[in-house]
Amino acid sequence: METTQEKAPVEVRIEPLRGLPLALEIAGGIGRTLGLTLLWGLEIVRDAYFRQLDRFNVRPRHKRASAFPPGQAKKQRNTPRR
């Protein structure tokens, strides 16, 4: 036995933005657009840079790179933990 339940109709009311909320939405859209444009521009520059390195046959370094600077390590002071 099947039971069918109908959903009650929902009234949707769309109110246009005016004044400050409208200005904030427009400014946010412009900001997002400019941010994405900047990121895409940087990506184009990065791709061109690596393309040039490939063209000049520049290979990655042979030695493993280290996150630590060369030289003697500094002695650590024993500080109490909190």
pLDDT in tens, 20-68: 999 999 999 999 999 999 999 999 999 999 999 999 998 877 777 777 8
CA distance 62 to 65: 9
CA torsion angle for 28, 30, 32, 35 (degrees, to 10)?
A: -140
What is the average per-residue pLDDT within 8-15? Answer: 90
Cα distances (angstroms) measured from residue 40 to each of 33, 43, 79: 11, 5, 46
